[in-house]
Amino acid sequence: KNQVEQSPQSLIILEGKNCTLQCNYTVSPFSNLRWYKQDTGRGPVSLTIMTFSENTKSNGRYTATLDADTKQSSLHITASQLSDSASYICVVSGGNSGAGSYQLTFGKGTKLSVIP
């Protein structure tokens, strides 16, 4: 069964600190892995997309890593800001053949709260 597991479920950090969110997946065959940021009441917004051959990708203060052998990914947030408070969702594309070969499988997300 295609699954994406994220940890921790929630996290509270002080403004200015760094944090790392984890993602494990069992989606196969694998196409790509995405991290999304979802603010309350809004749709998910893409942060990074990584394919099998990419093991790190940055977007400003966000750095995602991918280990396709162990099927693990992480999202590192540097120098957190209050505006980073959101849910961060790990999403894996693949897991099917034919028309649904790039179908997205979502994790439940990690709810990050950055406090002053």
Partner 1 sequence: EAGVTQFPSHSVIEKGQTVTLRCDPISGHDNLYWYRRVMGKEIKFLLHFVKESKQDESGMPNNRFLAERTGGTYSTLKVQPAELEDSGVYFCASSQEYGRYEQYFGPGTRLTVT
Binding residues for partner 1, rule: CB under 8 A, are 4, 31-32, 36, 41-46, 49, 51, 89, 93, 96, 99-100, 102-109
Asked if 22 and 72 count as a contact pair (C-beta separation under 8 A), the reply is: yes
Pick between residue 8 and residue 16 the one whose CB is nearest to partner 1.
8
Angle, alpha carbons 42-45-46 (nearest 5°)? 165
Pick between residue 45 and residue 79 the one whose CB is nearest to partner 1.
45
Q: CB 88 → partner 1: shortest distance, Å? A: 13
Q: CB 31 → partner 1: shortest distance, Å? A: 6
